[in-house]
Amino acid sequence: MIPLMRVQMSQAAPAGVSRVLGSGMIGQGPVVDEFEQALRERIGNPHVATVNSGTSGLHLALRLVTDAAGTGRHDDGGEVLTTPLTMVATNWTILANGLRPRWVDVDPATLNVDLDDLARKITPATRAIVVVHFAGYPVDLARLSAILDEAEAVHGVRPAVIEDCAHAWGATYRGLPLGNHGNIAIYSFQAVKHFTTGDGGLVVLPTAELNERARRLRWFGIDREVPNRGLTRADIPEWGYKFHMNDINAAIGLANLAETDDVLRRYRDNAAYYDRELTGVDGVRLTERAPDRESAFWVYPLLVAEKDAFVKHMTDAGVMVSQVHERNDHHTALRPYRALLPGLDRAVEQLVCVPVGGWVSDEDRRHIVETIKQGW
């Protein structure tokens, strides 16, 4: 069976972890510092904070943009515009911050949020907007910014945007890596992502002030730059979390970072092959490819006719396929927020993702394409 996902691990990672284990420092220490510096250079933004998961990063980001007073409480019933086509972690963090999700429909052409629907749903109650770059394909961030300009002119407030980049390591929008477009961007380094630290994540901030606060809140609200005074530290102005990364994960990350360009190149080469070979195939529709952005292709999404038959056909041929994420709005925990979402309805009727990662050989991808072309 050709797997849909697989851990991509550098052979240098075990030696890096071994050095950490023998160093006497396995928590957040010098290897995390080294890793963060490498990430600053890689992304091109000096304002970064590693965390222990992408979920923690999303939780922290929502706290940063909706709790300016530092109380950690939300008593105003504020809402967050978000997509239901994502891992539930995206939306659980909205609930965990005491906020209310409001669903934005999905554009079947991109599988990202429908920006027309988003524009209609911004109100004075909108505390933040969360967008997911589904399968690694960037949302049109310039158009989103223009929508926010219009909303600010009408409502007098401009909701903060949080970009969920869990699928999108290496993706670019208008020539820049995600995390350089004026929003908070959250990357996931979970096990089966393009780039893994075993588990972990990264918060990329637009300002030094937000970065300073994020770095405090990820470790109980304590400023680690302030030296100990005996057994005590300076006052803690607001409570925080135990969301920091450790040196073990950072060592894995450093090893994988050295090889990430080669990994991404293979994902994109496989995706380009599918683009060429599957264009115009009966029963198959490809998603959008805009010239101003470059997808990371964490998975390769297709919109197919007779989805159940397609899944059986591919499975019988030894190819693992999946929708990847169930629509969140059908979960009981999110039932109070149900809405009419016709674009999402159309998308999930047809959405199937096929393997595209570095483990997919030339022979594998030919087999995948030939199996699709046989029909189902």
pLDDT at 225: 80
User: Cα separation of 255 and 13, whole Å?
Assistant: 5
Strand order in the sheet with 160-164: 48-51, 201-204, 184-188, 160-164, 126-132, 79-82, 100-103
pLDDT at 363: 98
What's the whole-model pTM score? 0.96
pLDDT at 97: 95
The SS3 of residue 334 is helix
User: Model confidence over 12-36: pLDDT tens digits?
Assistant: 999 999 999 999 999 999 999 999 9
C-alpha 264 chain-centroid distance: 16
Report the relative pairing of strands 79-82 and 100-103 from DSSP bridges.
parallel
pLDDT at 234: 78
Q: Report, as ranges of residue numbers, the positions in the chain whose pLDDT lies below 50.
A: none
User: For residue 182, which of 224, 148, 221 has the smallest C-alpha distance?
Assistant: 148
* CB burial of residue 175 (10 Å; 0-12, 13-18, 19+): exposed
User: Cα separation of 270 and 278, whole Å?
Assistant: 12
Residue type, 256: N
pLDDT at 232: 65
User: Model confidence over 358-367: pLDDT tens digits?
Assistant: 999 999 999 9
Q: How many CB atoms lie within 10 A of CB 374?
A: 9
Interhelix angle 260-278/362-373, rounded to 10 degrees, is: 30
Complete domains list, the chain, with CATH? 13-257 (3.40.640.10), 260-373 (3.90.1150.10)
pLDDT at 224: 84
pLDDT at 251: 98
pLDDT at 228: 64
